[in-house]
Amino acid sequence: MYSIIKRLSDFFSSAIATLILSPLLIPILIGLKLTGEGYIFYKQKRIGLKNTYFNILKFATMLKDSPNIGTGSITLRDDPRITPMGGFLRKTKINELPQIFNVLKGEMSVVGPRPLVDRTFNAYPKSVQEVVYNSKPGITGIGSIVFRDEEKEISDSNLPPHEHYAKYIAPYKGALEIWYQKNKSFYTDFMLIFLTAWVILFPESQLTYKVFPDLPVREKISAQTV
């Protein structure tokens, strides 16, 4: 029953969001066309429900050949591959808005585990890989909220980006997504949507841990890595 109602909720909320956000989307389309490399949307193969692939849709915020340049699938703070308009879109999370079309198609949900590319997915322990996508991936979720400034953490580390991700981010992000699988409910989803907006307005807030006091505890990162 939860999955049926959630799908209906996803469909209607994304359809309404498309209509409401149209006045915002149109200026962004024009701005992207006139800046950077002139392309608007970015498609990428991601892992979705039951570990099957789909193409995620985002506003283009980086150079077209970014996956083959620099740090590849990991983006750093002030990454030189980010286009002039892309920095603003990424900071405000507006670049994620086209994923409402993925939600309309039934490939994604509003709330769920973030869909990853193969390399970052493979950084998860096998136990996480086997269950994390028992739910549809989401535009937002507990992993997205807790790691809202993942780019800064990786940029501040003395380790190579993919090594830091695999050693310090993937294990905890995986634990968070397993927590979601065990605690998913309409209440959890509603609060995660609220917290997504909250942390955009108040990036340093720790309200997430107060709303969900049973979240897994993260091990402290060694001082040598930052």
- Residues 127-151 have pLDDT tens digits of 999 999 999 999 999 999 999 888 8
**In the predicted model, what is the mean pLDDT of residues 62-80?**
77
pLDDT value of residue 226: 53
**76: pLDDT confidence band, cut at 50, 70 and 90?**
confident
The total number of residues written for the chain in this structure: 226
pLDDT value of residue 222: 56
- Residues 29-49 have pLDDT tens digits of 888 888 877 888 989 999 999
Q: Considering only residues 71 and 131, tell me which one the structure prediction assigns the higher pLDDT.
A: 131
Query: Does 214 have pLDDT greater than 90?
Result: yes
- Residues 183-205 have pLDDT tens digits of 999 999 999 999 999 998 898 89
**In the predicted model, what is the mean pLDDT of residues 58-81?**
80
Q: How far is CA 63 from CA 33, 93, 217, in A?
A: 13, 18, 36
Query: What tokens were used for 143?
Result: 């992993």
- Say which DSSP state 37 is in: T
**220: pLDDT confidence band, cut at 50, 70 and 90?**
confident
Contact 51, 134 (CB under 8 A): no
Query: What tokens were used for 180?
Result: 């979601």
pLDDT value of residue 223: 46
| Residue-range domain boundaries for the chain | 2-215
Query: Does 1 have pLDDT greater than 90?
Result: no
Q: How far is CA 177 from CA 42, 173, 222, in A?
A: 25, 6, 23
